[in-house]
Structure 1
Amino acid sequence: MARAIDALRHGWPITLGSGTVLLPVETGVAVEANASRMLISCARAATLKLANQRDAAAPHAPVIIRAAEPLSLQNARPIADPALDLAHPMKGPFKAEPIIWEDDAVAAMELARLAGILPAFLVNPDNAGEAEFVHSGDLGDWSDTVQLTLATRARLPVSAQTDAEIIAFRSANDMREHVALIIGEQSADREPLVRLHSECLTGDVLGSLKCDCGPQLDAALHAMADETESRGWGILLYMRQEGRGIGLVNKLRAYNLQDQGFDTVDANQRLGLPDEARDFRVAARMLELLGVQSIKLMTNNPKKVDALSSAGIIISERVQHQLPDNPHNRRYLATKRDRSGHLLT
């Protein structure tokens, strides 16, 4: 899987178990490649008026479209990228076709997400070059959290609490390294206050006002520090799942679409990407490796509660974690509440 993801980021074709060859449209380097068919997401197909309302209910699902003339990478990119819609308003004509290799198509869309590229491929293109083979079933093994192991730990005093320890986790299958920050002294006699925090470069590091990630991170650490005043402790699980799992580049593309008037959910779907692609099983595995089975979970997101509970973590209490909004993130927070089910007032 790692080789397939690397191939897509380099712009090389992949071939799946069905024998289908797929060349990534965004990164493809085979300038002479051309194909009559493309694999895109259902949401993108809906934008092109090629999917009905029932199909569009699964926006990340794959769709095959056939063009009247062979497509090169150059004229396929406006089909793949909604940022080019205004510059290239006329596309087609296209015809949607059934997919007889559904599992491979679904796997290809997921591989594109993991590679951080737009989910769009030329299908069985001529002059694409040698393809990297991947079996769609390998995705399950690649994402199995049992592969995650505890790598190392070190003392790390932080501004919220000097009595803190950082613990790094990694998997042989994944270059992303997750970390846990233990605030206070770990104790089997007391449930820790736990916060699952997904990486957000713009909010955590740059102080973006478009989201509430930075303030949530700071407030969680200070809440855990407060726990230590009564001999309690806390765990911040910092997961490398930027942009709710779609990656930094695609998150910034979504920001551009938000500036055009789309909300968070619609912007992701317009890119052909899921609005929620994080794997919270990673957090459950991190807790397991720390020897923690029962927690107080600081979250407004019921999906986190459900995911950890399904993985065997006992959640004795859900602790609300809502912070004041600002003019720049007010719509973002409203979308969280109204469309993503977050428990916000």
Structure 2
Amino acid sequence: MRLTPDTTELLARARGDLRMGLPVVLSVSSGAVLAAAAETLSGERLAQMRALGAGTVLAITARRAETLKARAYDGDLARIVPPSDADLRWFLSVADPADDLNAPMKGPLQTVREGSAALHRLALGLVKSARLLPAAVITQINDGAAFAAENGLTRIESTEAEGYLTANSPLHEIISARLPMEVSEAGRLHVFRPEDGGEEHYAIEIGRPDRGQPVLTRLHSACFTGDLMGSLKCDCGPQLRAALAQMGQEGAGVLLYLNQEGRGIGLANKMRAYSLQDQGFDTVQANHRLGFEDDERDFRLGSDILKKMGFCAVQLLTNNPAKIDIMERNGIKVTARVPLKVGETAHNRGYLATKAAKSGHML
């Protein structure tokens, strides 16, 4: 019996290390790098990484590079060469757009165009999955296995990890229990846990839906500000309550509550996007300036949960065509789209218009 961690477990450990400001070692047959999240890295550890003398770069996504007018020779990312006297503040100013308007001239930025960026891509994928700013400090090292062992660091083999970050982790139902609610006393809450150590997701079952018939379904992404605090900047809270109310009225339905806050970038980054919106950027522009795509959510989670619960067809409460497409492509037939147009306010009118114009929402 082996007690050593497998690749899934090592990736979960690496995410935890990066959130704590600890570097990880990433390896391929041709070499290795030491990688750290720019957001959590301390000045002392940055100095130690640069003292290794093998050349340090800051890897950022092509979205962030576009904002900074830096050339992304690697397509989806750019490897920025820091000035010799760059301190932690320089790295953070390139990684974080918070002061872009106050200090717009961060360059000219020199970017690397030679050599493989495979390990830099893996580092950015790990940092994003840890819900941190998508920027990684990378230093070349010689013997990855020896360096990790000497320093007690987590080491990830790139060839073994390939595909793990983009695959949807298998989900397992942990428990379900009766949950009487205002909209229906016949409620039941199911808790699903992914194998990769990520956040749990929930299914709220109203009544006793017939598994052989299309079930009224809502894929709802967690929104702390809207669902709990009654934020007027989005329509999430009203959509949640309207979907549950409709299921209660019809006597049956399934609401999938997916823990993908801020379109999958996490609450801290969502608040960063809100701050950028206060500077005049729309919701999509704010995400891009942070280095994220328009929407980083994985709706395959929803289809996986439905299949686990025995459903194969839905009437989908949504305004988002991407959800319909994902359901269909992952084996869940969408027999009807049920519009969910609620919650427009003076505070979110521009946000909703952007969702319609740039993300194709049917509003």
Q: TM-score, normalised by structure 2?
A: 0.86
Given that 1:68 and 1:92 are in contact with CA atoms closer than 8 Å, whether structure 2 keeps it comes out as no
- Give, in whole Å, the separation in 2 of the partners of 1:9 and 1:184: 41
Comparing 22-31 with 82-91, which one deviates more in the overlay? 82-91
Residue of structure 2 equivalent to 1:306: 325
Among candidates 251, 258, 268, match of residue 249 of structure 1 = 268
Given that 1:194 and 1:298 are in contact with CA atoms closer than 8 Å, whether structure 2 keeps it comes out as yes
Cα distance change on mapping 1:191 and 1:86 into 2, 3 Å: closer
| Sequence identity (%) | 41
RMSD: 2.3
1:28 corresponds to 2:41: yes
Residue of structure 2 equivalent to 1:114: 129
Deviations 1:49-95 (A, max 9, x none): 2138xx79x7xx21101133253323211111110334544434421
1:152 corresponds to 2:184: no
Unaligned runs of 5+ in 2: 1-10, 142-146
- Give, in whole Å, the separation in 1 of the partners of 2:154 and 2:293: 25
Given that 1:36 and 1:71 are in contact with CA atoms closer than 8 Å, whether structure 2 keeps it comes out as no
Among candidates 44, 65, 72, match of residue 64 of structure 2 = 44
Q: Alpha-carbon deviation of 1:105?
A: 2.5
Residue of structure 2 equivalent to 1:195: 218
1:317 corresponds to 2:336: yes
Deviations 1:34-61 (A, max 9, x none): 3542111222222222138xx79x7xx2
Residue of structure 2 equivalent to 1:134: 156
Comparing 68-77 with 78-87, which one deviates more in the overlay? 68-77
- Give, in whole Å, the separation in 2 of the partners of 1:65 and 1:296: 47
Q: Alpha-carbon deviation of 1:110?
A: 2.0
Which SS does the other structure have where 2:335 is aligned? strand
Among candidates 279, 288, 304, match of residue 285 of structure 1 = 304
Among candidates 12, 27, 42, match of residue 17 of structure 1 = 27
1:163 corresponds to 2:186: yes
Q: Alpha-carbon deviation of 1:324?
A: 4.5
- Give, in whole Å, the separation in 2 of the partners of 1:45 and 1:148: 35
- Give, in whole Å, the separation in 2 of the partners of 1:93 and 1:338: 33
- Give, in whole Å, the separation in 2 of the partners of 1:279 and 1:90: 35
Q: Alpha-carbon deviation of 1:6?
A: 0.5
Residue of structure 2 equivalent to 1:69: 84
1:259 corresponds to 2:278: yes
Among candidates 116, 119, 133, match of residue 101 of structure 1 = 116
Q: TM-score, normalised by structure 1?
A: 0.90
- Give, in whole Å, the separation in 1 of the partners of 2:313 and 2:95: 45
Among candidates 5, 18, 23, match of residue 8 of structure 1 = 18
Comparing 259-268 with 90-99, which one deviates more in the overlay? 90-99
Given that 2:126 and 2:165 are in contact with CA atoms closer than 8 Å, whether structure 1 keeps it comes out as no
- Give, in whole Å, the separation in 1 of the partners of 2:331 and 2:101: 48
- Give, in whole Å, the separation in 1 of the partners of 2:211 and 2:327: 19
Residue of structure 1 equivalent to 2:315: 296
Unaligned runs of 5+ in 1: none
Cα distance change on mapping 1:135 and 1:304 into 2, 3 Å: farther
Cα distance change on mapping 1:139 and 1:282 into 2, 3 Å: farther
- Give, in whole Å, the separation in 2 of the partners of 1:125 and 1:32: 14
Comparing 61-70 with 27-36, which one deviates more in the overlay? 27-36
Comparing 127-136 with 72-81, which one deviates more in the overlay? 127-136
Which SS does the other structure have where 1:6 is aligned? helix
Q: Alpha-carbon deviation of 1:100?
A: 3.1
- Give, in whole Å, the separation in 1 of the partners of 2:342 and 2:155: 47
Q: Alpha-carbon deviation of 1:184?
A: 1.1
* Number of matched pairs: 335
Comparing 131-140 with 13-22, which one deviates more in the overlay? 131-140
Which SS does the other structure have where 2:82 is aligned? strand
